[in-house]
Structure 1
Amino acid sequence: MLRFLAAALALASSAAAFAAPSAQPATVRLDYTHSGNALSDSYAIERVLIEPLPWPGDMAKNFDETNRGQNRVEVVDAKTGDLLYSRGFSTVFGEWRTTEEANKLSRSFSESVRFPQFDKPVRVRILKRDERNAFSVAWSVEVDPKAPDVVKQQPPAPAKPIPILVSGPSPQKVDLLILGDGYTAADMKKFEADARRLSQHLFTVSPFKERANDFNVWALAVPTTESGISRPSTGVHHASPLGTRYDIFGSERYVLTLDNRALRDIAQHAPYEFIEILVNNETYGGGGIFGQFSTAAAGNAWANYLFVHEFGHHFAGLADEYYTSPVAYQPSDVRTEPWEPNVTALRDPARLKWKQHVTAGTPLPTPWPKKEYEDASRAYQKKRAALRENNRPESEMDALFREDLARTKTLFEKRAHRHAIGAFEGANYEASGYYRPAMQCIMFDRSEAFCPVCRDGIVDIIDLYAGPAGR
């Protein structure tokens, strides 16, 4: 990966210089609040602003036909209703409303959508999936970028973007921005090294490996006064520009920021379509929301896995395929077909959404050593909980993870259908009723590779932003 370093040294450090050709339109951002509970929700506009950098995307690829996400943004001509731009996405609110807390109280979350500026007033529509798994309009608002209340001047950049990999002008590439949180001024060289190390690892994993030339990678971190981010369950509280922390929704390993406005105000100073936040912590943790951002603990022994797994959520909308780890989400009695490309309710095996990968004769559902796996996993989860409860050194957790992965590989290695694509029951945090494509995948455990179905899901998004390979 010497070209990572070569690109950084050969190119000027100004992100604006490589963001987009001068003909690119401006970037409009609509900040709004999304409030509610498990039963109802509502929206309200906060502000409209013009970001400092031009639109990073290709204007010939304005329409998203991947059908991903719990939500969808559509920008239409305010007079004619003609569709001008669309993208699927999910939200932190969407996850929170599936927790037990959402049955007891209401909360408000900040959200944003970004789109290219058009030479006319537009109507921005936020759609969400209904009980039929189809999109319907949840909220719409007219936006005129020339209106006097639109914020057109931004404060100076709080930090300088670092070009990690520049493969070409932003409109023809996928722009990944790596943000740092919990890095002090003295930690800035460490942040750059972490960003280089983890992005280089991403491009050793297929299909990112084969499509590395379709990406630009930038890094940016605003220094903090203390190293590391907050971990409230252990009494650690650190102020940080992005507000990233552990213990989201009561899950000790779940790392997100709930301060969307702070995130966007910092990210706007570099070209981006996707964001991964590196937190300067050793404790295992991460998170990922499709179309929003992902996070990973850069100092953890499993940082490579965390970076790739969580980016799979954020970048391609891949679902978690594991189901034995405790999560904050409440199970649902309804088994609608998930929108995520790598899990299914298997309502009709003959119409399995990844049937092109299934070899004739493979049984659906597909047998696997489910009971043996679950028996071992229960014992493993008990040990894991005890380590966290007793605040044991992270090295002991690392060793437990290695032991668990080795045991799983041994259990699977000589089983029938080990390398088959089928429908293996147990996925999407549920032991029954949902199925994954392969016995093992990065989205199932801490293994090294995406299954073919997940790879397809990733390629779809790369193609959406950068065009098909070999174009």
Structure 2
Amino acid sequence: MNYYFYLQKAEFSPIVCTFADKHKYTIYMKHFSCIVLFLGITIGVYAQNFADFFQNKTLRVDYIFTGNAEHQSIYLDELSQLPTWAGRLHHLSELPLEGNGQITVRDLTSKRCLYKTSFSSLFQEWLSTDEAKTTAKGFENTFLIPYPKQPVEVEVSLLNPQGKITTSLKHIVRPDDILIHQRGTTHVTPHRYLLQSGSAESCIDVAILAEGYTEKEMDLFYQDAQKACESIFSYEPFKSLKSKFNIVAVGSPSADSGVSVPRESQWKHTAFSSHFDTFYSDRYLTTSHVKAIHDALSGIPYEHIIILANTDVYGGGGIYNSYTLTTAHHPMFKPVVVHEFGHSFGGLADEYYYEEDVMSDTYPLNVEPWEQNITTRVNFASKWEDMLAKGTPVPTPVSEKQKYPVGVYEGGGYSFKGIYRPAYDCRMKTNDCPVFCPVCQRAIRRVIEFYIP
């Protein structure tokens, strides 16, 4: 709940108050007192104390998202308990970003919202493919929520590109359920901290996992993880806010070295079964074996995930609040891991586009995207309108890029027309750009400050 919003929207009395007019001053103060009282009640209702409702443990919820382009369903797979909670302790019932899906945890008796989070999923990307028009599939999805003290109702919903709910599932979680699998108390994957700024409660915890590294190659993995860490914190705003992060490298071993490249008939036995050619796109490197990722992290405090693939083939992928997966030995590794982390952590959109694509189905032009670094101008005031210099032309001509470092440049979100980006170039547009644009920097900073006030 945004209390500043309430303060902005409160209808202050038009009465002119002067100390010389005692009667007018009294009326004004009564009106102001009512507003303060309202704010106090609002804060009391919505600002929960974490310890009142949750234990210092994590509830891991595994789902299967199934269906095709016409119809989708959600099924509960498994519940697990992890030893500690590494997530946020504030803004429990708020969302940093809308995402393509949302999870809401409610008290079972009162139905009061206790916790919310948002995400995107590989399944929802797949729904836009030609394959989804002719067949149905199931995809694993795993989410972390704080472990409740009392029975709760958990609701997970998927949203379409128009922002409408396409399917949802409600289920009850009872914290004393004996079938909730306790994980992370015995076997814990070997790991080492690359950056430890504070406790799990006081920092954002990012885990870097090994994919396609054998036991003998773990020293190489830790070197690659260090490079990824250094690269991320060489960019603002991560650089200035480095003290808000913990980074742990997790040595998850694979039987085979390297990762699968289906177009070359190369199939490897790796920790997370990742492969290129996702949705038949050569460079798209992902995995649908999400449970294996989280199994490898059991017993290690984590919130966000980066997976490094032991290959020099170019590619990667980043899914908001799911994972970043990128290759570690291509020459463009360092900028690519930062770009993909911009997706998975910051919820940023791709700012590049294809000139032959006039309009992509990914972003309908009659809806404002939830990502903060692109706009259809349906509701531009909710984006970076406040960051435009006075007199900035909208749309902003590319010929004026030097004059307007923040503008409204057409082309973004894969579409040549109808979608606009905030800068001529950015880390979310090309690998050559050495910085996130000012709008992306602000968006990332807001996410960090949401997690760690």
Indicate which of 263, 279, 282 corresponds to 1:252: 282
5+ long unaligned stretches in structure 2? 1-53
Query: What CA distance in whole angstroms lies between the structure 1 residues aligned with 2:272 and 2:362?
Result: 32
Report the counterpart of residue 435 of structure 2 in structure 1: 449
Q: 1:132 and 1:297 mapped to 2: Cα distance? A: 33
Deviation at 1:128, TM superposition (A): 3.2
- How much does 1:332 deviate? 5.8
8 A contact 2:232–2:338 mirrored in 1: yes
Query: Secondary structure of 2:181's match?
Result: coil
Number of residue pairs matched by the alignment: 397
Is 1:60 aligned to 2:46, yes or no?
no
Q: 1:445 to 1:153 in 2, by over 3 A?
A: closer
CA contact (8 A) 1:64 1:464 kept: no
Cross-structure match for 2:387: 357
1:298-320 deviations in whole A, cap 9, x for unaligned?
10100111110000000011000
Tell me the CA shift for residue 325 of structure 1: 8.7
| Separation (CA, whole Å) in 2 of partners of 1:294 and 1:431 | 26
CA-CA distance at 1:441 after TM superposition:
0.2
Is the partner of 1:49 in helix, strand or coil?
strand
Name which of 337, 360, 371 aligns with 1:340. 371
Query: Which of residues 247, 264, 267 is equivalent to 1:234?
Result: 264
Contact 2:355 2:416 in 1 (8 A): no
Aligned to 2:396: 366
- The gaps in structure 1 that reach 5 residues or longer are 1-22, 370-414
Q: 1:220 to 1:196 in 2, by over 3 A?
A: same
Matched residue, 1:385: none
- Asked whether the 8 Å contact 2:63–2:78 carries over to 1, the reply is yes
* Matched AA of 2:69: A
Question: 1:105-120 residue pairs with structure 2 within 5 A?
Answer: 105-120=135-150
Question: Shift of residue 270 of structure 1?
Answer: 1.6
Higher relative contact order (CA 8 A, sep 6+): 1
3-state secondary structure, aligned to 1:138: strand
Q: Are positions 1:97 and 2:82 aligned together?
A: no
Match of 2:80 among 35, 46, 49: 49
Q: Matched residues in 1 for 2:213 and 2:253: separation?
A: 6
1:153-164 mapped onto 2 (5 Å cutoff): 153=183, 156-157=186-187, 159-164=189-194
Do residues 148 (structure 1) and 178 (structure 2) align? yes
Q: Deviations over 1:198-241 (max 9, x none)?
A: 10111110000000000000011222222111111111110111
Q: Return the index of the structure with the highest Cα Rg.
A: 2
In 1: Cα distance, 2:248 partner to 2:106 partner: 31
| Cα separation, 1, equivalents of 2:303 and 2:150 | 24
- Percent identity over paired residues: 31
> What is the Cα deviation at residue 438 of structure 1?
0.4
Q: What's 1:29 paired with?
A: 60
Cα distance in 2, alignment partners of residues 224 and 130 from structure 1: 36
Partner of 1:318: 348
CA 154–56 in structure 1, closer or farther in 2 if over 3 Å, else same: closer
C-alpha change, 1:136 and 1:285, in structure 2 (3 Å) is closer
Tell whether the 8 Å contact from 2:185 to 2:299 is kept in structure 1 after alignment: no
Counterpart CA distance in 1 for 2:204 and 2:355 is 32
Q: Does 1:302 align with 2:332?
A: yes
Aligned partner (choices 228, 232, 236) of residue 206 of structure 1:
236
Q: What letter is aligned with 1:183?
A: Y
Match of 1:263 in 2: 293
Q: Structure 1, residues 428-455: CA drift from partner, whole Å, max 9, x if none? A: 0111110000000011111110011111
Alpha carbons 2:319, 2:343 under 8 Å: kept: yes
RMSD: 2.2
What's the secondary structure of 1:59's corresponding residue?
coil
Shift of 1:136: 8.1
| Partner residue of 1:460 out of 443, 446, 451 | 446
Code of the residue aligned with 2:234 in structure 1: it is: T
Cα gap change, 1:131 to 1:68, in 2 (>3 Å):
closer
Provide the TM-score with structure 1 as the length reference.
Answer: 0.80
Which residue number in structure 1 is paired with residue 15 of structure 2? none
How far apart, in 2, do the equivalents of 1:102 and 1:130 lie? 14
TM-score in terms of structure 2 length: 0.83
Report the secondary structure of 1:344's partner residue. Answer: coil
How far apart, in 2, do the equivalents of 1:139 and 1:344 lie?
A: 30
SS in 2 for 1:360: coil
> Which of the pair is proportionally richer in helix?
1
3-state SS of paired residue (1:117): strand
The answer (yes or no) to whether the contact 2:389–2:404 under 8 Å persists in 1 is no
Among residues 272, 278, 291, which one is paired with 2:308 in the alignment? 278
- Residue 218 (structure 2) aligned to one of 188, 193, 197: 188
* Range 153-162 or range 236-245, more displaced: 153-162
Q: 1:185 to 1:130 in 2, by over 3 A?
A: closer
